[in-house]
A and B are shown apart, each in its own frame.
Chain A
């Protein structure tokens, strides 16, 4: 059982669609993350939220829009995506953002296919 739950697990969307990925953590953590995992590329950090405030945005295109309404929930809103955005999107959380020794716990991911 994972303390970080992502929905949907699989999503197929057209380039003109608008969809959202949802993440919920049940660990009482204060920091949440979105990562992108593409084939044959290292994991890429997309966004970090600490206490519901965005603290990092790693040059992610504006067609990806994160939202963190509270410390337990994180969304990734998707619109006008490109086929190269097809990837596994991983949500993660940690106790806090500032301490390097904190473990980052991952969800099972949302497989996104853009057609």
Chain B
């Protein structure tokens, strides 16, 4: 079945540091890949997505590239801000029979001023 593995947190960075959150996946079909963000006390918001290999999703300074050869979709940002403190979820949605979103366990990010 489908699965998503994220690096375990929590991750604590200083403001303006470089961020990488690793995400790898297994899927039976040709999945679309997503990063969602959850700010404290709120629901999930779509951060970015990629629907095919080599696509790069980007939003708010965050980027992730769909790497089929390494089955990865790592999230990066060159300079984090305190306001980026949140939980980040990697997810996939397969094109095959499993049409629901499969989520990783989430990575808590705290950015210190």
Q: In whole Å, how far is A25's beta carbon from the nearest beta carbon of chain B?
A: 13
Partner of B36, one of A88, A101, A106, A109: A106
- The answer, yes or no, to whether B58 is at the interface (CB within 8 Å) is no
Contact residues, B61-113 vs A (CB, 8 A): 89, 93-96, 99-101, 103-106
For residue A99, which residues in chain B have a CB less than 8 angstroms away from its CB? 95
Q: In whole Å, how far is B19's beta carbon from the nearest beta carbon of chain A?
A: 22
B99 close to A42 (CB less than 8 A): no
- The answer, yes or no, to whether A104 is at the interface (CB within 8 Å) is yes
- The answer, yes or no, to whether A74 is at the interface (CB within 8 Å) is no
- For chain A, what secondary structure do more than half of its interface residues adopt (helix, strand, loop), or is it mixed? loop
For residue A98, which residues in chain B have a CB less than 8 angstroms away from its CB? 99
- For chain B, what secondary structure do more than half of its interface residues adopt (helix, strand, loop), or is it mixed? loop
- The answer, yes or no, to whether A53 is at the interface (CB within 8 Å) is no
A100 close to B32 (CB less than 8 A): yes
B104 close to A42 (CB less than 8 A): yes
CA distance A7 to B44 in the complex (A): 16
CA distance A108 to B95 in the complex (A): 27
CA distance A98 to B105 in the complex (A): 24
CA distance A106 to B89 in the complex (A): 13
Contact residues, B34-68 vs A (CB, 8 A): 34, 36, 42-46, 49, 51
A106 close to B45 (CB less than 8 A): yes
| Binary interface encoding of chain A residues 99-115 relative to chain B, with 1 for a CB under 8 A from any of its CBs, else 0 | 11111111111000000
Partner of A100, one of B36, B89, B94, B103: B94
| Binary interface encoding of chain A residues 79-102 relative to chain B, with 1 for a CB under 8 A from any of its CBs, else 0 | 000000000101010000111111
For residue B100, which residues in chain A have a CB less than 8 angstroms away from its CB? 33, 45, 48, 56
The 4 A-B pairs of least Cβ separation, nearest first, read A108-B43, A100-B95, A106-B44, A109-B43
The residues of A with any CB-CB pair to B shorter than 8 Å are 2, 4, 6, 33, 42-43, 45, 48, 56, 88, 90, 92, 97-109
